[in-house]
């Protein structure tokens, strides 16, 4: 892995040759409502508009702008080499991610396009459409508050991650010595110039909304890498279960009594599952998981970076899943 930082912009890049391209992601902290975000993504059926919904609508508006500029038309895809864009919220971070060709220029270009879209203060119209979709009421002062919250987070730190089939080293034809194929500091300098953060003008009022209720769902407390592993495990073992990562929880569309029965079977089958699905790729597991998490926007860049640095193995995956079951 190589990594670097310039002011509020951090970037890490890790390589595995076991996939065909790279997953790229941008993460920043947010206090958005994960339930509202799930509704905007079409994966939540509740009708509430809880605290953090305004920020969720604005973050989703940022995602829509990035998706339009990266893959919103055949011309955009030709320029960016990106086919689709995803987003997610996990462990306090909002993440926008995509897959792209594994070259330094393609990664830099797609990241540059996305970073130029981090303009929450310019997205009132898109924000308003998202609020109305979630049955909320638009309010300029609420928008200003949400935009300012996101702006402060962006000023604090924008985390970027790249994992996949990208060359990090090359052999010098004259000296025959191995040298870096990517200059991460030069890339950070170019990308940093794409980020233009202006102040939010006007009155800012913090909205106050109802709390979210999930009487027909089971909430399994889990976040970061653990939530992704648990979601994948449940989806693999219980066909049609469709668990959803919702903030610091994995949501199961069943009542708690039924979940207790499911959980007992999942605990019983966990060791064999990890042996079959994780152990055969143990040496490359952390990079493969990092690629999968980035490709889906399921886990934030800082958590993926920490996982890769730790040398995550199949034994860690087993204990991680078991701890949240």
- 137-141, 239-243, 262-266: range with lowest mean pLDDT: 239-243
Residues 109 and 239 in one domain: no
- At 210 the pLDDT is 74
Give the mean pLDDT of 26-33: 96
Do 166 and 116 belong to one domain? Answer: yes
- Give every strand in the sheet of 158-164, ordered side by side: 2-6, 9-15, 158-164, 22-29, 93-100, 85-90
Together in a domain, 58 and 119: yes
* Whether the predicted pLDDT of 240 surpasses 90: no
Among 134, 157, 192, the domain boundary falls at 192
Give domain status of residue 65, yes or no: yes
The three-state secondary structure class of 96 is strand
Same domain, 180 and 233: no
On whether both 236 and 174 belong to a single domain, the answer is no
> Mind listing the pLDDT tens digit for each residue in 189-221?
999 999 999 888 899 998 877 777 766 788 899
SS3 content of the chain, % helix, strand, coil (to 5): 50, 20, 35
Place of tokens 């995956």: 317
How many C-alpha atoms does 280 have within 13 Å on its Cβ side? 5
**Number of domains the chain contains:** 2
Residue 199 lies in a domain: no
- pLDDT band at 173; cut points 50, 70, 90: low
Q: Is the pLDDT of residue 143 over 70?
A: yes
- Please check whether residue 211 lies inside any domain of the structure: no
Q: What is the tens place of the pLDDT at every residue in 53-107?
A: 999 999 999 999 999 999 999 999 999 999 999 999 999 999 999 999 999 999 9
In a domain, 48, yes or no: yes
pLDDT at 249: 87
Q: How confident is the model at residue 171 (pLDDT cuts 50, 70, 90)?
A: low
Same domain, 165 and 51: yes
Domain of 161: which CATH number? 3.30.830
- State the average pLDDT over residues 127-133: 94
pLDDT at position 52 over 70: yes
Does 233 lie in the same domain as 113? no
Measured over all CA atoms, what is the biggest interatomic distance in the chain, rounded to whole angstroms? 68
Judge if 20 and 146 occupy the same domain: yes
Same domain flag for 168 and 225: no
Q: Rg (Cα) of the chain, in Å, rounded?
A: 20
Within a domain: residue 75?
Answer: yes
Between 56-65, 166-175, 183-192, 237-246, the lowest mean confidence (pLDDT) is in 166-175
Query: What contacts 231, CB < 8 A, 6 or more positions away?
Result: 243, 244, 245, 250, 298
Residue 172 in this model has a pLDDT that exceeds 70: no
Question: Residue 180 above 80 pLDDT?
Answer: no
Are residues 275 and 186 part of one domain? no
Asked if the structure places residue 77 within a domain, the reply is yes
Instruction: Determine the average pLDDT of the residues in 22-44.
Output: 90
Residue 180 in any domain: the answer is yes
Of 192, 227, 245, which one is at a domain's C-terminal end?
A: 192
Please give the average per-residue pLDDT across 149-165, as a whole number.
97
* pLDDT more than 70, % of the chain: 95
Q: Which domain holds residue 269?
A: 218-324
Q: Are 140 and 223 in a shared domain?
A: no
Q: Is 324 left (phi over 0), alpha (psi -120 to 50) or beta?
A: alpha
């Amino acid at each position: 892995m190589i990594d670097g930082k310039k002011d509020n912009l951090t970037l890490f890049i890790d390589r595995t040759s076991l996939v065909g391209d790279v997953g790229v992601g941008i993460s920043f902290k947010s206090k958005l409502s994960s339930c509202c975000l799930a509704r905007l993504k079409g994966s939540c059926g509740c009708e509430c508009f809880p605290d953090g919904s305004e920020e969720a609508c604005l973050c989703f508006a940022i995602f829509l702008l990035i998706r339009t500029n990266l893959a919103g038309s055949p011309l955009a895809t030709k320029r960016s080499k990106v086919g689709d864009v995803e987003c997610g919220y996990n462990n306090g971070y909002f993440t926008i991610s995509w897959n792209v060709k594994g070259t330094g220029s393609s990664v830099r270009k797609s990241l540059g396009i996305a970073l130029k879209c981090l303009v929450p203060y310019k997205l009132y119209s898109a924000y308003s459409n998202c609020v109305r979709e979630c049955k909320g009421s638009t309010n300029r002062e609420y928008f200003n508050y949400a935009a300012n919250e996101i702006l402060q987070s962006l000023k604090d730190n924008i985390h970027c991650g790249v994992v996949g089939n990208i060359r990090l080293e090359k052999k010098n034809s004259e000296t025959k010595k191995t040298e870096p194929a990517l200059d991460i500091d030069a890339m950070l300098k170019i990308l940093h110039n794409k980020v233009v953060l202006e102040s939010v003008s006007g009155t800012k009022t913090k909205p106050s909304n109802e709390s979210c209720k999930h009487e027909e769902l089971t909430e399994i407390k889990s976040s970061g890498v653990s939530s992704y592993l648990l979601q994948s495990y449940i989806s693999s073992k219980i066909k049609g279960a469709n668990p959803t990562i919702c903030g610091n929880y994995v949501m199961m569309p069943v009542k708690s009594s039924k979940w207790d029965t499911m959980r007992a079977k999942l605990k019983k089958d966990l060791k064999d599952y990890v042996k079959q699905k994780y152990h055969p790729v143990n040496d490359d597991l952390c990079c493969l998981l990092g690629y999968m998490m980035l490709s889906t926007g399921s886990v934030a860049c800082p958590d993926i970076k920490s996982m890769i640095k730790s040398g995550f193995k199949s034994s860690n995956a087993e204990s991680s899943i078991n701890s949240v079951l």
